[in-house]
Amino acid sequence: MSRNGRYVALRRPDGIDIVDALGPAPRRSLTLEVLDYVCVGSMLWVVSDGQLIRYAMDGTEDELPEIGERTALTASHGRLYPVTTRDRHSALWLGYERLLVREIDGEAEVEDISNEAPATAFVGLLGGRRILIAEGQTLRVRDVGRSDVAEAHLPIPGQVVACASLFGGGAMSVLLEGEEGDAFITMRPAGAVIHNVALPSSELWAAADNRGVGVVYDPEADRLIALDLRYGKIQARVEAPLRQVADVSIDADGKYLTLAGLRREDELDDDEIDGDEDVQTGMYHLLFTDLFGASVPAMRSARPAADKRSAGKLATSRSAGKRPHTRTAPKRSTRAELDAAEGAQPLPSEEEEATPQPSEPVVIPQGPLLGLGTPLPPMHISEHSGGRPYANSSEHLDALLDMVTARAYLVITEAWDSGLLSFGANDALPFQREVLALIGQSSGLAPDLVEAAGNSVHAQIVEMGERATASIQAGLELPFTQLLREFSLNSDEAELLISVAAPRLRGEIARLYGILANDENRPLCDPYLLNLLLGGLKSKQHGNITRLLSPERPLVKYGLVRLEGGSEQPFTSLSIDDALLQRLRGEHHSAGPSDITTLRYADRSLEQLLVPDELKRDIVLSLLARPRDGRPFRVLLRGRRGSGRRTLGASLAARIDKPLAVIDCERLPRTGLAFAHELGDELTRAGLRGAVACVSALEVFDATDPVGVEHIRAVFRNCPAPIIIRTTPEFQPPIDPGYLSFSLPPLSESERFAFWTDTLARRGFHAEGIDRLASRFRIGPGTIEAVISSAAAHIDNPDEDATEAFDRAARQHIQTRMSSVATYITKLADWHQVALPEDVHDSIREFIGRVRHRRTVYDNWGFDARMSTSRGLTALFYGPPGTGKSMVAGLIARELGLDLYRVDLARITSKWIGETEKNLAEVFDAAEDGQCIILFDEADSLFAKRTEVKSSVDRYANLEVNYLLQRLDTFEGVAILTTNLEGSIDKAFKRRMSLRLAFPFPDEDMRVRLWAAHIPPEVPIEGDFDFAELARRFPMSGGYIRNSALRAAFLAAQENVAMTHGHLERAIHLEYREMGKLAPGGRLE
């Protein structure tokens, strides 16, 4: 079948027929002797009479046109196996010779590749010049004429009999023949095994490389099996519509399937059942979903009718997955007279989806994640050492420092012997002895001291080697030895490293270095001193020291030794980082309050994390192998606060037996150059601590500083170790392309319930209302852990119901996040305090109902699948001042039982570019996580209309508005905006509002109700209050009515009398006067 599934090639005794199974083209025939034939893309490749002939199947001509020149193919026996990847056509000829046939610039080129692998090895084509070679349990991927590009070992025993390229070369699938059945193994191009699927033994199989599905025929059960090669599972098993299937083929997109075999008896006439087999033959061309997406009875009734006029033998299409192995090949039958219109399944108007099959567990590959580093295997020394093990690692460090001391003393004795170090009192000329010593013309002043010191150095080296060996045999971990293994340091590099570290670890050595330098202006340790120390006065090692301190060597590359000024000169100062000194002492890093980096160790395995299995599998597959281009991986873990990014990073690092070094960028300087410098130092320290670096809160740097941004990008580019970057979903860090990016989705309510349950059980606490906590707070695993930890201190009896304690702690976490930009509103209005027209009441109740019943409508009634926007609810309340807009926001919060936060515009806006958007993001995220209502009072200042850009102020103001527009589209919470100037709100915001509600100026009846509502029953009164008269004479909004009532109460309290109607009128006059109106009676709003 052609790659697009339209054309089917049928073999007949004297040639080949081409059937257009989906279109109007007539059946076309080729009459020639055929050795083999395959469909390659939309072409037909035929091997005939020692030639490869290529035909175009597209078109409506009666005859198939040939493509290009015929190509000589010295072949008398064999078969073709085609591969098409990214419009590259190639095929592998397997016979007495192994030939690679490729189409280049419209012509076919043949290359003999017989010498690429032993004759007994399996060879398969993956596309282009890439082949797969299987010998025993070893698989090798090779580009013809070059060395191997990958090597892998089969996870189960068996013989490779076929292979297929998937997704344009992005993966490959191998068919394995075993004693108890077959197996499909899907692998990465680098050799990492993704998964395998066990299958019954079969002779027929086909794979759709674009879609990643396969089809296998099980002859014992007479069934067809559909495989999902992406996720390693069997999708369906159905009865084959033909019995004794002789051939199967599938198009590249997995849409169409072609089968050839014998028709079943229920489709034959009586005279055909006992007739010749030729009459019973048939071929189906049908949709993949028609076969595997229907039940067996429905599939039976949907079978296309076989051609009853057939007089020839069985017609087959050439399967792209026929095996090149020693089994007997399936019978090759000849043509039956099939009519294309009757023999092909008609194309439906809309492709049907397959019936969902029970999902199988996702397999997460095991093994170290070499993309993050190489774990150190245990050290095994078979030879018995005569030395005594060190008592602990500190004793080993003391021995190393003793050795450095002995070396320093040896060099000092040599200096005494040569006169390099002397009083100089007997010199006839200035510095005579020192100069003669420097040029090697003076010696013999202290030979006995030199000999004794040399013997001491030799003895210490021998003893230290024996004791170190004995310590390793005894299972003692020696930090210095572990460091050498981790960074692959040789003996010269090891001696140089401990020599640089020694003066920082022991003061006496620092003094010896100073004596040896004999110059107070020289640094404590420099390359010239090391040259003397490691080689003696007559040493010629300066070139070796220079080589060891070159930027590409481990000591400098990984920051083990730092060169002041960045380049090696004879008197360049050499130093060592405190983090490395701490490790040499065997001390564990414990972060203080001001530390930038914190080490985090995994407390759970990757399999135990509440992260989708598909995501865990994808991450592991991406990191199983080292990067092919040699550049260390940059891994982005995106997610919301508390989504578990740090925990995931720690679990990944644990796969290579390392902790996670979390670098908090909030503690770094904000300016670009200083930020980049400090970040580079912390990345280096992470490696020195033997940890995987994780950069957190990178969003805080000044993204408007192009120079600083480029320096930060250079830091990431030049770091020689893998880096994990923990960031928000929308942030793009300044790193070069080629990074890996993974997004952690928020937990569903059921997942939150499971995590609450599991964590409380693990921590030994009890809560009856776990379902309420999981529904109320949309927080991630990290935040749930933090909530439980903070509440634990206030739980006296772990066996009692602690739901309220956890609810209180969760609310406090939300309040903490909101506190910097919003105010928690505790006084909320109720219905008795609100006087509004009935239509406004109805709109408010409808809005409350939409919040309450979101789950019913969206989840239970299926509206979520029909809506392209978010499920959040936003309301715009507009009207004159004092009409109750903010009060109604409190009423809604009370009715829904949700917390209300009023956004403080003064705290949310910032002069620093990008800070306002960051603050807004925190508000929206916290509101979603805590299911609280956010109130933007006087929203026209933030949600104002965008203006024409005439200055940078306009540009950045518009950026804020654009951010708000985008965030509202994804907001899942409840937000209320109030404004007195509805016309100032950008039209795009108005369109996004779930409710736009106008609050009118109150009429007389409403003012009467407002006056009555604002006089509490506890107030002592004298006489009657004529609220109707007040409402008629003074057209005031609800806010001024409230102020007047409160003012009247204070006037009465000051006079120590009951409140009267006169107090109200006096208060009203004061209100009008303060508003600049000399005479009361006008409209006050």
CATH of the domain at 53: 2.40.128
**When comparing pLDDT for 1055 and 189, which is higher?**
1055
Distances 1005 to 166, 366, 1008, 1040 between C-alpha atoms, Å: 76, 75, 5, 16
Ramachandran area for residue 808 (φ above 0: left; ψ -120 to 50: alpha; else beta):
alpha
Residue 274: pLDDT band (50, 70, 90) is low
Mean pLDDT of 685-697: 95
> Rounded CA gap, 871 and 927, in Å?
14
Question: Is residue 702 included in any domain, yes or no?
Answer: yes
Q: Which contacts qualify for 65-73: CB closer than 8 Å, 24 or more apart? A: 67/43, 67/106, 68/106, 68/107, 68/108, 69/107, 69/108, 71/101, 71/107, 71/108, 71/109, 71/110, 72/110, 73/47, 73/99, 73/101, 73/110
Phi, psi at 249, each rounded to 5°:
-145, 150
DSSP E strands: which ranges in 264-395?
Answer: 281-287
**When comparing pLDDT for 984 and 84, which is higher?**
984
Q: Which of 217-231, 288-302, 303-317, 717-731 has the highest mean pLDDT?
A: 717-731
Residue 797: pLDDT band (50, 70, 90) is confident
Q: What angle do CA 851, 856, 857 make, to 5 degrees?
A: 80
| Domain count for the chain | 6
Show the tokens assigned to 786: 């933090």
Q: Are residues 67 and 53 in the same domain?
A: yes
Question: Is residue 372 included in any domain, yes or no?
Answer: no
648 in Cβ contact with 609 (< 8 Å): yes
Confidence check: pLDDT of 406 > 90: yes
Residue with tokens 């570019």, as numbered in its chain? 913
Q: Are residues 532 and 477 in the same domain?
A: yes
Confidence check: pLDDT of 362 > 70: yes
Residue with tokens 């004298």, as numbered in its chain? 1022
pLDDT at position 227 is 86
Confidence check: pLDDT of 346 > 80: no
**When comparing pLDDT for 634 and 543, which is higher?**
634
pLDDT at position 688 is 95
Q: Are residues 813 and 929 in the same domain?
A: no
Per-chain mean pLDDT for the chain:
81
Kind plus residue range of the DSSP H or E element containing 173 = strand 171-178
pLDDT at position 262 is 80
448: exposed, middle or buried (Cβ count in 10 Å: 0-12, 13-18, 19+)? exposed
Condensed to tens digits (0 to 9), the pLDDT of residues 736-784 reads: 999 999 999 988 888 888 889 988 988 889 888 888 888 888 888 889 9
Of 199-203, 271-275, 736-740, give the lowest mean pLDDT range. 271-275
- Radius of gyration over alpha carbons of the chain, in Å? 41
Q: Are residues 515 and 441 in the same domain?
A: yes
Mean pLDDT of 645-654: 95
Confidence check: pLDDT of 223 > 80: yes
Q: Are residues 465 and 608 in the same domain?
A: no
Residue with tokens 């004092």, as numbered in its chain? 882
Confidence check: pLDDT of 634 > 60: yes
pLDDT at position 308 is 32
Residue 1002: pLDDT band (50, 70, 90) is confident
Its domain, for residue 652, covers 597-743
pLDDT at position 87 is 57
Q: What percent of the chain has pLDDT over 70?
A: 84
Q: Are residues 613 and 702 in the same domain?
A: yes
Of 866-875, 925-934, 944-953, 973-982, give the lowest mean pLDDT range. 944-953
Q: Are residues 911 and 942 in the same domain?
A: yes
Q: Are residues 506 and 617 in the same domain?
A: no
Q: Are residues 561 and 607 in the same domain?
A: no
DSSP class of residue 51 equals E
Angle between helices 527-535 and 491-505 (to 10 degrees): 110
Mean pLDDT of 610-638: 90
pLDDT at position 762 is 86
Show the tokens assigned to 909: 């806006």
pLDDT at position 736 is 93
Residue burial 165-180, b: 16+ Cβ < 10 Å; e: rest: bbeebebbbbbbbeee
Q: Are residues 541 and 685 in the same domain?
A: no
**When comparing pLDDT for 624 and 425, which is higher?**
624
Question: Is residue 382 included in any domain, yes or no?
Answer: no
Q: Are residues 986 and 1044 in the same domain?
A: no
Q: What angle do CA 854, 860, 865 make, to 5 degrees?
A: 80
Q: Are residues 811 and 933 in the same domain?
A: no
Mean pLDDT of 204-223: 86
Of 195-204, 933-942, 947-956, give the lowest mean pLDDT range. 947-956
Residues β-bridged to residue 18: 9, 28
pLDDT at position 950 is 52
Distances 63 to 47, 57, 127 between C-alpha atoms, Å: 18, 9, 30
Q: What is the CATH number of the domain that holds 604?
A: 3.40.50.300
| Terminal C-alpha separation, the chain | 79
Phi, psi at 815, each rounded to 5°:
-60, -40
Identify the domain boundary among 112, 145, 171.
Answer: 112
> Rounded CA gap, 713 and 704, in Å?
14
Q: What percent of the chain has pLDDT over 90?
A: 27
Identify the domain boundary among 112, 147, 170.
Answer: 112
DSSP class of residue 857 equals I
Mean pLDDT of 224-235: 82
Angle between helices 507-517 and 527-535 (to 10 degrees): 100
Question: Is residue 364 included in any domain, yes or no?
Answer: no
Mean pLDDT of 637-641: 92
Residue 297: pLDDT band (50, 70, 90) is very low
pLDDT at position 718 is 94
pLDDT at position 664 is 95
Residues β-bridged to residue 29: 17
Question: Is residue 232 included in any domain, yes or no?
Answer: no
Nearest to 333 by CA among 259, 260, 426: 260
Mean pLDDT of 440-464: 84
Residues β-bridged to residue 801: 766
> Rounded CA gap, 975 and 905, in Å?
15
Q: How many CB atoms lie within 10 A of CB 806?
A: 26
Question: Is residue 361 included in any domain, yes or no?
Answer: no
